[in-house]
């Protein structure tokens, strides 16, 4: 039976906009309404960045060139470095975050996201992290993904893995097409903690009974606000903080490829965000040539 989908957009007193998409999986036999787990996506639930793998799938379909993909990989690395060195100052990243999907129809991006998840993202789900998430589900707790990627792509992953839903960045849509602009801020750093606070109020969660998982020190605000924080595949800064604070550490990085996760045949829609300036030019050239 297909699961229903619900997307909610909420703005806090600071003007930050959060989106969460609920996949509504079958409820457990004994649900725990006040507890939940929050999982970062990139390098926590999945090897690498979900946005990068989406871009790679587009390149395989000739939406981008190999050179475009290389530029995109560099932009992703630069984004992580800037986020670490200039916490909270993400204005430049915000301006270009969704530029390359400007004018794309939502249904086209949905179709591509579903295909590319199965081809490139599913094999890179960390089996160990997936087991952690399943443990919360088995205990009757809800499990949410929390990512700087658009809420729709988080929903794709959450639906495929049977999780509750996703919190992510909100993309503006007008007349069924993406404008290339964001609604509010990127779901990054303190914005994740604010969005979780909003969701907790809506869903009746007790954050002291909740857990959070991440690989990055950028997510310290999220990790610090819950009763149980777990560093998964942590970077150096997060590992240091985890040791100082007595947090649990899980590291699933080995020389072996991650075990592919079995996924159902249906899924929600998704889209990609990232600074792919060359892709914008390519898209516009194609659009012009087709006119």
Task: Return all residues near 272 (Cβ < 8 A) that are at least 6 apart.
Answer: 50, 51, 54, 55, 58, 101, 109, 113, 149, 150, 153
42 is catalytic: yes
Locate tokens 């020389």: which residue?
255
| Catalytic-labelled residue, pool 12, 24, 32, 42 | 42
Question: 242 Cβ partners below 8 Å, 6+ apart?
Answer: 229, 231, 234, 248, 249
Sort 27 into a burial class: Cβ within 10 Å, 0-12 / 13-18 / 19+.
exposed
Q: How many Cα atoms within 13 Å fall on the side-chain side of residue 285?
A: 8
| In contact, 6 and 177? CB cutoff 8 Å | no
DSSP single-letter state for residue 45: T
Question: What span, in angstroms and rounded, lies between the C-alpha atoms of 154 and 81?
Answer: 22
Closest among 113, 167, 117 to 142, alpha carbons compared: 167
Decide if 40 is catalytic: yes
Q: Give the active site residue among 40, 68, 215, 219.
A: 40
Q: How far is CA 99 from CA 38, 146, 278, 279, 281, in A?
A: 28, 22, 10, 9, 10
Q: SS in 3 state form for 69-136? A: HHHHHHHHHHHHHHHHHCCCCCHHHHHHCCHHHCCCEHHHHHHHHHHHHHHHHHHHECHHHHHHHHHH
151 secondary structure, DSSP code: H
Give the residue numbers marked as catalytic: 40, 42
């Amino acid at each position: 039976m297909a699961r229903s989908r619900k997307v909610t957009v909420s703005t806090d007193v600071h003007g930050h906009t959060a989106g969460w998409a609920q996949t509504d999986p079958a409820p457990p036999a004994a649900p725990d309404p006040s507890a939940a787990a929050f999982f970062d996506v990139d390098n926590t639930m999945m090897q690498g960045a979900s946005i990068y793998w989406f871009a790679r799938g587009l390149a395989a379909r000739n939406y981008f060139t190999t050179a475009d993909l290389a530029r995109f990989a560099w932009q992703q690395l630069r984004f992580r470095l800037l986020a670490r060195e200039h916490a909270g100052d993400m204005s430049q990243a915000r301006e270009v975050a969704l530029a390359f999907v400007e004018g794309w129809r939502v249904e086209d991006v949905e179709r591509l996201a579903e295909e590319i998840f199965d081809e490139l993202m599913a094999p890179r789900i960390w089996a160990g992290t997936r087991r952690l998430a399943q443990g919360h589900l088995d205990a009757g707790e809800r499990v949410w993904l929390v990512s700087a990627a658009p809420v729709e792509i988080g929903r794709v992953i959450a639906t495929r893995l049977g999780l509750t839903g996703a919190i992510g960045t909100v993309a503006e849509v007008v007349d069924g097409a993406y404008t290339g602009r964001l609604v509010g801020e990127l779901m990054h750093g303190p914005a994740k903690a604010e969005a979780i606070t909003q969701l907790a109020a809506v869903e009746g969660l007790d954050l002291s009974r909740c857990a959070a998982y991440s690989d990055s020190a950028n997510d310290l605000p999220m990790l610090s606000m819950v009763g149980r924080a777990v560093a998964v595949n942590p970077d150096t800064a997060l590992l240091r903080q985890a040791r100082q604070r007595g947090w649990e550490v899980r590291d699933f990085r080995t020389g072996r490829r991650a075990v592919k996760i079995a996924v159902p045949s249906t899924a929600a829609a998704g889209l990609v965000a990232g600074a792919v300036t060359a892709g914008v030019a390519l898209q516009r050239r194609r659009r012009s040539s087709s006119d």
